[in-house]
Amino acid sequence: MKARYHNEKAETMSRDEIADVQNRGLKRLVRHVMANNDWYRARFEAAGIEAESFRGLEDLGKLPFMSKRDFREQYPLGMCCVPKTSLAEMHMSSGSTGTPVVMPYTKADIAQWADCMARCYAMAGALPGDTCQITPGFGLFNGGFGFYHGAQAAGLFVVPTGSGNTARQVTLARDFHTRVLGSVVSYSLRIMEVMEQMNVKLPDLKIGIFGAESFSDEMKTRIHDGLGIEAFDIYGMTETGGVGTLGQDCQAHCGLHQWEDQYIVEIVDPKTGAPVPDGEIGEVVATSLTREALPVVRFRTGDLSRVVSREKCACGRTHLRIDRISGRLDDMLIISGVNFFPLQIEKALLKIPGVLPNYRLVIENHGGTKKLRVEVEAESGVTGHTVAKALKEALGFTPDGEVFAPGSMPRPEGKAKRVFFEDK
């Protein structure tokens, strides 16, 4: 395999070098946040942390966790560690509760983000001069600008379409020979569909960089086959500084490399907060070592994954690999005493011949008793009964299945909302 790096030295450093960089970075981080922000100082002092005697990695477990709630309570800039005059940009996510999570950036933070993103582009095989079409929204959402800053650092030619107007996206991709497509997972399905309707083929399109939502291997295969591209899974979030800050899979596709010289990534038991052994599923916790404006310290992401390997990868990169995100803690559903994640349903659905990748899970509340209704588009011949039967095998209980004609359900242009609640 031919490996291309954006920052070869950083991406291939030995485990000892990574440990050393993290150790020094963590000590510097604790001094920075305690010296420059009252909220961090009060919180760390209450946990018995002193900046001068903090020993680095061996004291990591003593640092208190932080969560989305802290961002919301400290809105807008309560956790910012630099003067407002040093800020250059901000992004924001509102999530399901609507309360904003704000991430401010200094110029150096934008450069750090761009470096992480440029590494992701290179890891996917993008070459300087390639046309890169950026379909996530430009605005408060970090997706569009993150792909943009990284593409500039990687020397790509940017077609900054943002989201929506899919027919125009397809035309531009054809006319400008787009080779690299950045997209929220579910929007790539829409692009596929419109290409078919327009009868346009995109022979130059080779690399798809997708994220912002969990997607099953079955979905990845459909995207791969439908667009004829190699699909990569990119990971990051507003709180860590945006898309690509944590990492992505390489051409070996055996886990998402985490940029460990920039972040410490832990996998912990969501109940106790204790680290779980490698290989076991737990919650991803991230600490940003190099960000200035608002570095997170032991941020509980709510995302579930596991360590795949800490060994050097076939691509030559040495950074920790974690599994693709299997869901969020708050996505877990319990019906008929069975716990499951939406992704399990997606996997089972996409194994049914004739079923299309557009679906909704409706949780019906019948006076306290919950029932699941699965709505999905499918070709003629697939019935609600076929769907219910296949899901029973996967889940252990029988949901209701309802089948819609291809093209008749709404199409998301950003992150897809898959789960809906209805009182009956």
Residue numbers of the site for ligand DLL (CB under 6 A)?
93, 136, 142-143, 184, 211-214, 233-238, 242-243, 301, 303, 325, 328
Closer residue to ligand DLL (CB): 20 or 331? 331
- In the chain, the amino acid numbered 28 is R
Closer residue to ligand DLL (CB): 22 or 248? 248
CB of 68 to ligand DLL, least distance (A): 9
List all residues 6 or more positions away from 208 whose beta carbon is below 8 Å from its beta carbon: 180, 181, 183, 188, 223, 224, 227, 229, 230, 231, 232
In the sheet where 321-322 sits, what is the strand order? 157-159, 131-134, 180-184, 207-211, 230-237, 242-249, 256-258, 321-322, 307-309
Are the C-beta atoms of residues 40 and 297 closer than 8 Å to each other?
A: yes
CB of 235 to ligand DLL, least distance (A): 4
Closer residue to ligand DLL (CB): 301 or 344? 301
CB of 416 to ligand DLL, least distance (A): 12
Composition of the chain by helix, strand, coil, percent to 5: 35, 25, 40
CB of 234 to ligand DLL, least distance (A): 5
Closer residue to ligand DLL (CB): 44 or 145? 145
CB of 188 to ligand DLL, least distance (A): 11
Packing angle, helices 107-123 and 142-154, rounded to 10: 70
Strand 230-237 to strand 242-249: parallel, antiparallel, or no bridges (unpaired)? antiparallel
CB of 325 to ligand DLL, least distance (A): 3
Question: Residue 174: helix, strand or coil by DSSP?
Answer: helix
Closer residue to ligand DLL (CB): 230 or 364? 230
Q: Report the alpha-carbon distance of residue 263 to residue 360 in Å, rounded.
A: 35
CB of 10 to ligand DLL, least distance (A): 21
Closer residue to ligand DLL (CB): 315 or 343? 343
Query: Which spans in 86-165 are helix H?
Result: 107-123, 142-154
CB of 227 to ligand DLL, least distance (A): 16
Residue entry with tokens 């979905």: 219
Instruction: List the helix and strand counts (H, then E) for the chain.
Output: 11, 21
| Closest listed residue to residue 124, CA positions, set 204, 244, 221 | 244
Q: Is the peptide bond before 76 cis (omega within 30 degrees of 0)?
A: yes
CB of 210 to ligand DLL, least distance (A): 7
Closer residue to ligand DLL (CB): 104 or 211? 211
R_g over Cα of the chain = 22
CB of 146 to ligand DLL, least distance (A): 6
Q: Residue number with the shortest CB distance to ligand DLL?
A: 211
Closer residue to ligand DLL (CB): 273 or 384? 273
Q: Report the alpha-carbon distance of residue 29 to residue 295 in Å, rounded.
A: 8
Q: Report the alpha-carbon distance of residue 11 to residue 22 in Å, rounded.
A: 14
Residue entry with tokens 């991430």: 103
Closer residue to ligand DLL (CB): 44 or 235? 235
Closer residue to ligand DLL (CB): 142 or 287? 142
Are the C-beta atoms of residues 209 and 118 closer than 8 Å to each other?
A: no
Phi, psi (rounded to 5 degrees) for 419: -110, 130
